[in-house]
Amino acid sequence: GLGSHIQIWPPRSPDLTPLDFFLWGYLKEKVYATEPTTVEDMKVRIRRACQDITPDILRSVRESFSNRINQCIQVNGAAFEH
């Protein structure tokens, strides 16, 4: 509520953001498997990589993300190995 100091989703936390946890690395791996030759080539590769994300991939990411959140809770937000 107003005046609350609790953050629902900590900003810029690689342990807790699915984009940092999965998507950016996945896209970088797919897009830069070989160097893009043009900006348009890069755009096509990004679109294709996004289209290639299957429900099974998302399910695996969700499970791994959930495990990571649980580990974070267990150590009361302190750093942990994952």
- What is the per-residue pLDDT for 8? 60
Q: Give me the pLDDT at residue 1, please.
A: 46
Distance CA 68, CA 72 (A): 6
Residue type, 53: I
Q: Which residue has the tokens 């996004």?
A: 50
pTM over 0.85: no
Residue 31 is predicted with a pLDDT of 96
Reading the chain (82 residues) residue by residue, the pLDDT tens digits are 455 555 565 666 655 667 777 898 999 999 999 999 999 999 999 999 999 999 999 999 989 888 888 888 898 878 777 6
